Amino acid sequence: MRARCWRSIRSRGFHTSLARQRAEWNPRLHIWWNLALPARIMPTMWHKGIALAGLLLLVLALFPPTLSLYQLTGEEALQGQLRGLVHWFHTAIRPQPDLAPDAPMEHAAVSAFGVNTFLQNEVLPEVRERSLQMISDAGIDFIRQEFPWEDIEIHGKGDFVDRRNDVDGDGEIDALDAWAKYDNIVDLAEENDVEIVARLGNPPAWTRALTNTVGTNAPPDNFEDFGDFVAAVADRYEGRIGYYQVWNEPNGNDEWGLQDVNPEAYSELLCVAYRRIKEEDADAVVLAGALTPTVALEGRNLNDLIYLERMYDAGAGNCFDVMSAQGYGLWSGPTDRRLRPSVINYPHNLFIRDLMVQHGDAHKPIWIGEMGWNVAPPELPPIYGRVTEEQQARYAVQAFERARDEWPWIGVVNYWFFKRPDDSEKDQTWYYFRMLEPDFTALPVWNAVGQYAADPPSLAPPAELFYLWQRWRAALFLVGGALTFFSLLVWLAPEVTQRSLRAGVVSSTSTSG
């Protein structure tokens, strides 16, 4: 029996010695052997080092960029903040957008302050004049103003005479120059040192065989008809209007008419307009139509990210200088940092930016076409969210501030909207985005934005390390979680872990042998 024991001991010693020898000439096995040292050594340096590294990586991955729950979630109520905190942790460990914040960009270093206007609907020139004076005095440098095709080339091809109204009341239709009020708007903008982003769209009925039965916003049958119109606008206002947006929200809200949206057709239309505008005014800046943020995947409404991807596939990347996006906050404030493509909140433009970077357009900025929060009264449905007038004012200022402070790829942010000519639409929810009443009575949001825009504070953009940390957060979480799990496994079941590692060494040794 002693002989058998001695042979067994010698046998184990032989195999142990053999394994050590193999590990000496095989560096890979040497590493595995060290990992398979007796469990009493593991809880010392290796175990503590791996556990500490894992915890540090998890802290780096999950540490919020702010300790304020409102600043993190954009929620005012505690219940919403706690729910939003869970949502933020869930989104923080997902892959983050590639934003290329340091990429050189044209048309980004402009004033951030803009507002949407409907000056073409103001009958009296003095109302347009007062509007632009107020906008200029408030420190707002841009207006996003419609130049509707249906209101300029009204009755037929090349016909720029308006024969729709009896202006003098004599019972006969009067012929008016359809350009006249738009000339007036451009003149007043120049006098008040306000830049115009001309929004081009809304084809007249004569451009479609189906007229307006397919919707007043449906595209023309012949895209070159639209090309002729935008060329006429660019030629008339060369050197006076520097920015043109081609269409608005072509991916939904019936802005492509009462039919399915079509990214490929819109891309073709955009390229026609881009070419014709540049032929008339080489210095003009062309903006792609602002995409409405939506998660819908139905025919008449298509997710903006999918729509933009298809635009790039159709060659639209060569046909715009600036991308447009909408900046509605809906149910949360502008500080909301939760990022999911299926959630519509103020920072949704980061996903648009990510797609642009992927397609080689990091040098192009994004301009926000419409930004705002709705204060609809209780009797109307809150289809755009609902906030108080105090919140609307505070959110607007914070939205401008965040864009200026954190998003160097964002140029102009246009508030939605200045005012309507009358209150006939006050039974509609969208009316309650306005900054002023039709009689120029200012709401809190106008006063707040005017005070901020008139003397905006200097802001220092975050360091590049901030954006790198945001982008690599998901990877930090994965590595930190793996290291933490491994160290917990060793701590809870050291013998099992030791046997598993030794089995791996033996298997690797056998394979190498």
pLDDT tens for 223-259 read: 999 999 999 999 999 999 999 999 999 999 999 999 9
Asked whether the beta carbons of 350 and 293 are under 8 A apart, the reply is no
> What pLDDT band is residue 3 in, cutting at 50, 70 and 90?
very low
Asked whether the beta carbons of 43 and 56 are under 8 A apart, the reply is no
**Dihedral angle sign, alpha carbons of residues 265, 266, 270, 271:** negative
> What pLDDT band is residue 15 in, cutting at 50, 70 and 90?
very low
What SS3 state is found at 315? coil
Catalogue the long-range contacts made by 268-272 (C-beta closer than 8 Å, 24 or more residues apart).
Answer: 268/223, 268/314, 269/219, 269/223, 269/226, 270/246, 270/311, 270/316, 270/319, 270/320, 271/315, 271/316, 271/318, 271/319, 272/223, 272/224, 272/226, 272/227
Q: Which two tokens stand for residue 491?
A: 């701590």
C-alpha 449/C-alpha 116 separation (Å) is 14
pLDDT of 275 above 80: yes
DSSP string for 241-299: --EEEE-S-TTSTTTT-SS---HHHHHHHHHHHHHHHHHH-TT-EEEEPPBPP---EET
pLDDT of 127 above 70: yes
pLDDT of 402 above 90: yes
Q: Which two tokens stand for residue 247?
A: 């269409």
> What pLDDT band is residue 79 in, cutting at 50, 70 and 90?
very high
pLDDT of 9 above 70: no
What SS3 state is found at 376? coil
Mean pLDDT across the stretch 392-415?
96
Residue 497 pLDDT: 56
Distance from chain centroid for Cα 361:
15
C-alpha 312/C-alpha 263 separation (Å) is 9
Tens digit of pLDDT for each residue in 335-355? 999 988 888 999 999 999 999
- Are β-strands 297-298 and 161-165 bridged in parallel, bridged antiparallel, or unpaired? unpaired
Sequence ranges of the domains in the chain: 42-97+473-513, 102-460
Tens digit of pLDDT for each residue in 449-507? 999 999 998 887 777 788 888 888 888 888 878 888 777 777 776 665 555 555 554 55
Asked whether the beta carbons of 413 and 368 are under 8 A apart, the reply is yes
Question: In 10 A of CB 386, how many CB atoms?
Answer: 20
pLDDT of 18 above 50: no
Mean pLDDT score of the chain: 87
Q: Which CATH architecture has domain 102-460?
A: Alpha-Beta Barrel (3.20)
**CA atoms in the 13 A half-sphere facing the CB of 177:** 6
Residue 112 pLDDT: 92
Residue 463 pLDDT: 76
Q: Which two tokens stand for residue 478?
A: 């994965």
What SS3 state is found at 469? helix
Q: Which two tokens stand for residue 283?
A: 């210095």
β-bridge partners, 200? 147, 246
Q: Residue 103: what residue type?
A: A
pLDDT of 2 above 50: no
- Are β-strands 142-148 and 161-165 bridged in parallel, bridged antiparallel, or unpaired? unpaired
Terminal Cα-to-Cα distance of the chain (whole angstroms): 33
Which residues in 125-182 belong to E strands, given as ranges?
A: 142-148, 161-165, 174-177
Mean pLDDT across the stretch 74-97?
88
C-alpha 509/C-alpha 513 separation (Å) is 6
> What pLDDT band is residue 1 in, cutting at 50, 70 and 90?
very low
Residue 461 pLDDT: 73
Q: Over pLDDT 90: what percentage of the chain? A: 66
> What pLDDT band is residue 318 in, cutting at 50, 70 and 90?
very high
Tens digit of pLDDT for each residue in 23-54? 444 554 454 445 444 444 445 676 778 878 87
DSSP code for 430:
G
> What pLDDT band is residue 364 in, cutting at 50, 70 and 90?
very high
pLDDT of 76 above 60: yes
